[in-house]
Amino acid sequence: MLVALGFGGIARADEAIWRNHMATAAEAAKHGDHAAAVQMYGAALKQAVAFGDTDARVAATHFGLAQAYRGQYDYANAEKNYLRALVLLESVNGTIYEPAVYSRASVLNGLADVYRLQGRYKEAEDYYRRELAIIEKTQGPGHPAVAQALSNNLAELYRVQGRSDEAESVYKRALAILEKAVPETDVRVGLALIDLAEWYQGQQRYAEAEPYYRRGIPIVEKTFPPAHPRVLHLLQDWGLVTQMQGRYKEAEAVYKMMLTLMEKTYGASHPNVGIALNNFVGLYEIQGRQADADAVRKRMLAVSNTSVRAQPYVPYQAPEQGLSQRKR
């Protein structure tokens, strides 16, 4: 569906060509072929400008081009097209859906991301705040979308700048919003808890990180398949924060949870099990339990040498409705 102004008497055939270019470009981008996406969005733009310079379809096409250029790390062209889309959007009164939800907030977010990726933090913050203001006005200040914008945008921006107090405050505000807006078992609450846990762990504030892992992991665990890389990674982190506090029995219990999951999912002799076993080697050595460490290491090396190929951890991508999305 497309909601836009200024269509006038444009021939349906012209619009069909534009739509086809847009759909082809979106499909290419979805599969990571950003070069093809740029080419097809460029073809769509040539068609769109025939509708009139201020037609909403022109804005939609510039937005698509900006996204494709960003995928190629061509931030200069991405910025130019985001800005053009923003100017056009602010001159018409409507929301465009082509091919997914696209609005002024989307463009502001894209611009802010491009500025952040270039280290232009002041400009990034200005655009993130403009986007946040729109979301708060349209959805309400207590809406989960506000929490997502806070965690994924401002908190991430403050994190990369080392603005520790501000990042912590934003993460806490996002969690507080979600705790009031959705059930306590909602995955978004779990991910917000993990945001804080990982933040504190990164600051080496292990005692503060632990309770958030303790609350967040059971929620997140129910959302993903057994032994999902995200869950395993979180269990490893939880074990580490207890280990770093010298609470070795608790750390061992968490590592055993991780090991049990991996053995149940992959089998006791699968190379992936070696990832979990490696945790015990370090834990036992730090306690001076060298015999235990050597025994585990022997088993770890044995499973690592099997003919089955290990499946390494993959970068985690949060669901769109969730939080914890580290942007590139």
| Per-residue pLDDT band at 88 (split at 50, 70, 90) | confident
The verdict on residue 212 lying in a domain is no
- Identify the pLDDT of residue 17: 92
State the Cα angle at 244 between 162 and 232, rounded to 5°. 85
Helix (H, G, I), strand (E, B) or coil at 92: coil
Tell me the average pLDDT of the chain: 85
The verdict on residue 273 lying in a domain is no
The verdict on residue 26 lying in a domain is yes
The verdict on residue 195 lying in a domain is no
Angle between helix 34-48 and 56-71 (nearest 10): 160
The verdict on residue 45 lying in a domain is yes
- Identify the pLDDT of residue 53: 78
Who's near 315: CB < 8 A, 6+ residues apart?
Answer: none
- Identify the pLDDT of residue 55: 82
- Identify the pLDDT of residue 308: 40
| Per-residue pLDDT band at 8 (split at 50, 70, 90) | very low
**Helical residues (DSSP H) of 31-155, grouped into ranges:** 34-48, 56-71, 75-89, 104-117, 121-139, 144-149
pLDDT of residue 311 exceeding 50, the answer is: no
Work out how many domains the chain is built from and give that number.
1
CATH of the domain at 58: 1.25.40.10
The string of pLDDT tens digits covering residues 159-195 is 999 999 999 999 999 999 999 999 999 999 999 999 9
The verdict on residue 249 lying in a domain is no
Q: Domain residues for 45? A: 1-102
pLDDT of residue 74 exceeding 90, the answer is: yes
264 touches 227 (CB < 8 A):
yes
pLDDT of residue 128 exceeding 50, the answer is: yes
The verdict on residue 278 lying in a domain is no
The verdict on residue 126 lying in a domain is no
The string of pLDDT tens digits covering residues 217-231 is 999 988 888 788 888
pLDDT of residue 108 exceeding 70, the answer is: yes
For 209, the token pair is: 């990180």
- Identify the pLDDT of residue 52: 83
pLDDT of residue 100 exceeding 70, the answer is: no
Host H or E run for residue 29: helix 12-30
